Amino acid sequence: MAEAGKRKGMADHRVLDGAGLRVAIVVSRFNEEVTARLRDGAREALLRSGVKEKDIVEVWVPGAWEIPLTCQMLNESDEYDAMVALGCVIRGETSHHLYVAGEAARGIADESMGSGVPIGFGLLTTDTYEQAMERAGGSHGNKGEDAALAALEMVGVLRSYCPPIDSNS
């Protein structure tokens, strides 16, 4: 009988082995107290999973808006097996946060789907600074860690179920 919560015949990719993988972490400087903690969580998760320090590249950008373009440019280098996108958009007095967060999320998703390179989504969208800190190593865990582990898991999923594309055909 299959384990509870697992369908018969389905591989479990949660056993993560990052050995030999190159990973880029793209981090927004806006709300840096929060995003630095997200970055720490992502980096620790990658190292714990076997990614070597020399194979982790960290790129800081001004804000969440700039994350998708940076992911796109890094993807075009063909040097990375996965990426982790980290940022924090906190609701303000206007609706500006909706546009920034929504377009950043869309851009990250579009880049991952268009390139075939997994991008772990670690863009916090909260109502308050306190909520952001709770999700950056506080009572709600560290969403940077979660995003890094999701990116590694997706590398395993894609390598197991999706044959590589032959660029010569």
Respond yes or no: is residue 140 known to be catalytic: no
Residue with the bigger pLDDT between 44 and 3: it is 44
- How is the chain split into domains, by residue range? 23-159
How confident is residue 95, by pLDDT bands cut at 50, 70 and 90?
A: confident
**Percentage, residues of the chain above pLDDT 90:** 69
pLDDT at 12: 55
pLDDT at 5: 44
pLDDT at 9 over 80: no
pLDDT at 36 over 60: yes
Residue among 13, 96, 97, 140 flagged as catalytic: 96
Largest CA distance in the chain: 54
Q: What whole-number distance in Å separates Cα of residue 147 and Cα of residue 144?
A: 5
pLDDT at 167: 54
pLDDT at 7: 47
Fold of 23-159: Rossmann fold (3.40.50)
Q: What whole-number distance in Å separates Cα of residue 110 and Cα of residue 39?
A: 22
Name which of 49, 45, 53 is nearest 122 in CA terms: 45
**Average pLDDT, stretch 33-57?**
97
Kindly report the average pLDDT of the chain as a whole number.
Answer: 88
Q: What whole-number distance in Å separates Cα of residue 16 and Cα of residue 11?
A: 12
**Average pLDDT, stretch 44-67?**
96
Kindly report, residue by residue over 12-28, the tens digit of the pLDDT. Answer: 555 578 999 999 999 99
Residue with the bigger pLDDT between 1 and 71: it is 71
